[in-house]
Amino acid sequence: MTTPVNPALIPPGPSGVPAVQPTQRTSRVADGASGGNFAQVLRDRASVTTSTTSAPVVFSGHALQRIERRGITMDAATQKRLGEGVDRAASKGSRAAVVLVDDNAFVVGVPSRTVITAVGRDNMKEHVFTNIDSAVIA
């Protein structure tokens, strides 16, 4: 009686056992969509992601108090640049960032797009920013 031979244990070469050919696989989308390959699905999803506008940046109650107390001006141009800075931080995978806009620093929770606190130029000498993973100059 002979023991069955596992072809995976036999090194390739002229041993008399034919090499096992890998089966050919075709690319299918996991959700059952018809026929698209991975590259096409990726392009389609990326175009949907880039065509949407980013959500506005919101301010926590604490941040609003700091902005008011420290006399930080929040005009439309500053808010736009702040939003663009948050977008750049998000594109790099940041979770908590300091976004510098002119003479002001904003600590932002990037996934929620929430400003946690704000510091003006006059107060920056006294502050240390902790628990951040990135800094953006907007």
In sequence order, what are the beta bridge partners of 105? 100, 119
* Measured CA angle at 20 (ends 15, 23), to 5 deg: 170
Which pLDDT value is given to residue 50?
A: 44
Distance, C-alpha 14 to centroid of its chain: 51
Dump the DSSP string for 22-39.
Answer: PPP-----TT--SS--HH
For residue 51, what pLDDT band results from cuts at 50, 70 and 90?
very low
Is the CB of residue 22 less than 8 Å from the CB of residue 78? no
Question: Domain extents for the chain?
Answer: 26-54, 58-137
Cα–Cα distance measured from residue 81 to residue 65, given in angstroms and rounded to the nearest whole number: 21
Q: What is the pLDDT of residues 30-40, one digit of tens each?
A: 454 555 677 77
> What are the pLDDT digits (tens) for 56-95?
999 999 999 999 999 999 999 999 999 999 999 999 999 9
Q: Enter the pTM of the model.
A: 0.62
Asked if the model's pLDDT at residue 129 lies above 80, the reply is yes
